[in-house]
Structure 1
Amino acid sequence: MIDPTEPEQDTSGGRDVSLILLIPNMVTLMGLSFGLTGIRFAMEGYFTWAVILIMLSALADLFDGLLARRLGAQSEMGAQLDSLSDFLCFGVAPAILVYEVHLGDFGGLGWIFALIFAVSACLRLARFNVMSGQAEPGEAPKRYFVGVPAPAGAFLGLFPVFLSNLGLIDPGSAPLLVCVWLAVVGALMISNLKTPSPKGVKVPRRMVAVLFFATVIAMGLIFTRPWLLLVIMDAAYLAVIMVALVRAKGRLFG
């Protein structure tokens, strides 16, 4: 006979989870939703909104990791969920957007290069997962990325879209060059090229004031010339990659 004064036992084997620990995964799902909606808008011709949503997914990708570390909510499921979200937001969504803006009239060849970009992002993320699994507990975070990270690759891949929104090129123009560009960015993502992570970048003391002024200018451009700002950011990151290429001395894929 069951004693009604005894507390009911949970025989399901489960246990309650703190809501705080779920917040990083909820942010990841928000980013995934942004990426999926960006794909929808790209297919419906709302290209500006598609770019904005991909940018929002990048912000979500930044904050979910920060929250997980701050809250002590890192988990294997969260890591896998984040990787799957990154593939969709920074591999699939940019590929579809570039295809819709510049390669739709180029037929199957344009789609092939869109696939190359998306698959390269997938391979980059798969390698990142493997390398993360091999890291020793308590090991200091790496001060460089091996290959261009998927979010950075996404914004490099969107460079032709930024140029068209800035009015420098017409949508659908130079599709062959856009195909080559997607292939180059894809190759950079799967290469052994070492690019510095934010933790590895050092700023000379005399450049600190310049960096602060550049930040203020960037804030102004966000509200006045956002497409110009995105082009400048891509160009600056390309400069970093060029320096890394010079230092690589031909060992990109070895």
Structure 2
Amino acid sequence: MRPPRPRRLRRPTSGLPLRTITPNALTALALSAGLTGVRFAIGGDWQMAVVMILVAGVLDGVDGQVARMLRGTSRFGAELDSLSDAISFGVSPALILYLWSLTDAPRFGWICALVFAVFCALRLARFNAQIDATEQPRKSAGYLTGIPAPAGAIGAMLPLYLWFITGEPWLRSPWLVAPWMAFIAFLMISSIATFSWGALRLRRRIRFEALAVIVVIGAALVSAPWHTLIGLCLVYLALIPFSARNYARIRRQRANMSAAPKPAAPLP
């Protein structure tokens, strides 16, 4: 009878698994796309500058989903994502709009560009500060506080989309672009409740219709990107009053439920 073979000791595995690297790589690509938009703006290629911000927005929406799907979420990834958002959707759009329009009023324009970039960073800092909070009434109801950074970046460049289509010189005026940037920056740091698309739940009977709408929007973005972006920006801004009203109703319902007297316990 042969003696049993000694068991081989397995070498301890070291290093990070690939599933934790993939989401962070997508976040780094989003950061690179946002900074590349500034490079195109310096060269005067405004359409490619906008496209790079849009690419950063797509990657920003994908990296979180990939991290949850691969179970690769981490504190490092959350911090890197916020840093990428601050640069891609705060600094880069501010520089693009400054180089496109605000240089005609350098002092006033630079102030508005700084306000937009700083307010975007403040919005992200507020979001990070609330990650570990146990009670988040807006999040539990499916709402956000203020508009998210990618929506703010895309909305701030609305005059640029209109200029691509019409070529009107007044759309490039800093006295129009700067107040618009300040308005979008205010929406980012405001306490207005806005819809969270990730929290939306579709009914089973309208899933096919929703898929058809997504396909139509995707086709429109490919064939007529600037017209489609204008329409999406206007629809999103028009929905803000409705989201604020709906959340106010939910908050009143919660307050009434908490103020309602509890039934007395039965006597033994």
State whether TM-score is above 0.5: yes
TM-score, normalised to structure 2, is: 0.79
Q: Displacement, 1:218?
A: 2.1
Q: 1:40 is matched with which residue?
A: 39
| Aligned: 1:164 with 2:171 | no
TM-score, normalised to structure 1, is: 0.83
| Aligned: 1:240 with 2:266 | no
Contact preservation (8 Å) 1:36, 1:93: yes
Contact preservation (8 Å) 1:98, 1:160: no
Call closer, same or farther: CA 1:211–1:167 in 2, change over 3 Å. farther
1:1-254 aligned within 5 A: 15-135=14-134, 143-167=142-166, 169-170=168-169, 173-201=172-200, 211-245=210-244
Q: Displacement, 1:152?
A: 0.6
Measured against aligned partners, the alpha-carbon deviations of 1:158-215 in whole angstroms (never above 9, x if no partner) come to: 1111111121633763321211111111111101011010144466889767645543
CA distance in 2, matches of 1:75, 1:205: 33
CA distance in 1, matches of 2:77, 2:213: 35
Matching residue's letter, 1:124: R
Contact preservation (8 Å) 2:221, 2:228: yes
CA distance in 2, matches of 1:206, 1:70: 26
Call closer, same or farther: CA 1:68–1:248 in 2, change over 3 Å. closer
Contact preservation (8 Å) 1:98, 1:158: yes
Structure 2 unaligned spans of 5+: 1-7, 249-268
Call closer, same or farther: CA 1:116–1:204 in 2, change over 3 Å. same
Contact preservation (8 Å) 1:104, 1:172: no
Structure 1 unaligned spans of 5+: 1-5, 250-254
Provide the aligned C-alpha RMSD in A: 2.8
CA distance in 2, matches of 1:246, 1:169: 36
Measured against aligned partners, the alpha-carbon deviations of 1:113-134 in whole angstroms (never above 9, x if no partner) come to: 0111111100000000001122
Of residues 116-125 and 234-243 in structure 1, the stretch that sits farther from structure 2 once superposed is 234-243
CA distance in 2, matches of 1:125, 1:151: 11
Contact preservation (8 Å) 1:101, 1:171: no
Of residues 160-169 and 119-128 in structure 1, the stretch that sits farther from structure 2 once superposed is 160-169
Q: Displacement, 1:46?
A: 1.1
Instruction: State percent identity of aligned pairs.
Output: 37
Call closer, same or farther: CA 1:99–1:25 in 2, change over 3 Å. same
| Larger of the two Rg values belongs to structure | 2
Measured against aligned partners, the alpha-carbon deviations of 1:67-109 in whole angstroms (never above 9, x if no partner) come to: 1111111111110000000000000111111112221211211
The count of residues paired between Structure 1 and Structure 2 equals: 238
Contact preservation (8 Å) 1:99, 1:110: yes
CA distance in 1, matches of 2:215, 2:30: 27
Secondary structure at the counterpart of residue 144 of structure 2: strand
Q: Displacement, 1:244?
A: 3.4
Call closer, same or farther: CA 1:210–1:21 in 2, change over 3 Å. closer
Of residues 169-178 and 146-155 in structure 1, the stretch that sits farther from structure 2 once superposed is 169-178
